[in-house]
Amino acid sequence: MEAAAAEPGNLAGVRHIILVLSGKGGVGKSTISTELALALHHAGKKVGILDVDLCGPSIPRMLGAQGRAVHQCDRGWAPVFLDREQSISLMSVGFLLEKPDEAVVWRGPKKNALIKQFVSDVAWGELDFLVVDTPPGTSDEHMATVEALRPYQPLGALVVTTPQAVSVGDVRRELTFCRKTGLRVMGIVENMSGFTCPHCAECISVFSRGGGEELARLAGVPFLGSVPLDPELTRSLEEGHDFIQEFPGSPAFAALSSIAQKILDTTPMCLP
């Protein structure tokens, strides 16, 4: 471990690493990863996204990057750059599949080996933030990701839940996982937290409300915010558009921008 810390290799230029976790599937973890990365990017930061949700690599579609190719460079794999300035980049197993609907039918050791290769062999260059989108649960892939990144001192974990009691209960186990692995919890985000009517602006609690905030209070960790359901956000993700840039008047935009700003405000060093 000391040797890895002394030779950071392709992560040498990455200032901060954030793992996005959830206790269960279907809570919008990849949505939060994508929009957090875009919000940090529009705040002037250089951002990379590492998609290690190997069985459900949806981020290439969410960012309009499906079908793009990963190329070799002298330091390993070059990530896929999403803008001309090369200030936001992505690496995903989705780029390595011959067909976008091809299933990843791998046993644990092969998955863990690819995660370690993603950590060591992707040439990110200089980044302010690397956002790591993990699969749901507390599986082998989580352990492989945390252990591979531990020498590089991740900033912490952002944990995503929805308001329902079932989801909150699963996220409580995710917090236990963080404690057992020594991963600092940066905060909890409650996703799908109500629906704001586009006609009258009234917020309807479709899946109840407040479960994430109450869990954060009981666990003694920060509550970063609630993101409402938003048809424009869903459409942007399905079509690969930049929601943060295109819908600044949306309630979801305000929530996501606030979450990104809280992360920037608590980052333990001044970024350029």
- Which residues are annotated as part of the binding site for [4Fe-4S] cluster? 197, 200
The binding site for ATP consists of 23-30
Environment class of 116 (CB within 10 Å of its CB; exposed 0-12, middle 13-18, buried 19+)? middle
The binding site consists of 23-30, 197, 200
CA distances for 116 relative to 34, 142, 148, 183, angstroms: 22, 11, 6, 18
Name beta bridge partners: 48: 89, 130
For residues 262 and 122, what is the distance between their CA atoms, to the nearest angstrom? 28
For residues 184 and 158, what is the distance between their CA atoms, to the nearest angstrom? 9
* Contact yes or no for 211/161 (Cβ under 8 A): yes
